[in-house]
Structure 1
Amino acid sequence: MKDAYSTLKNLRKSSQQNASFIANADRTLLADIAAILSQINAYTAARYLTT
């Protein structure tokens, strides 16, 4: 029984996806991929595209 529980526990761990989080300027965590890409684009534009 203990082996079955251990196997089930390992299967659950391996099937979970890693979460991607990034913080915006207000230090609010963004979990939505569209919000993350928007934040990256804003940072890149502010950093490299300003003259």
Structure 2
Amino acid sequence: DGEPLKSNKVLLDAPCSGLGVLSKRVDLWWNRNLEDMEQLKSLQDELLDAAST
């Protein structure tokens, strides 16, 4: 009928930094930098915006 779908909640499985597992994945210390985190944050923001509209 062309009407947009409405919902009260949206579940988004956005990519994460993996920083919560640093104690188990020491290699992440060396493979992450500020630029990576900024790009990841931008992607997460875009996905949240898309999921909420």
Where relative contact order (Cα < 8 A, 6+ residues apart) is larger, the structure is 2
Of Structure 1 and Structure 2, the greater helix share is in: 1
Q: When the two structures are superposed, what TM-score results if normalisation uses the length of structure 1?
A: 0.38
Q: Which has the higher strand share?
A: 1
What TM-score results when the alignment is normalised by the length of structure 2?
0.37
Give the number of the structure whose alpha-carbon radius of gyration is greater.
1
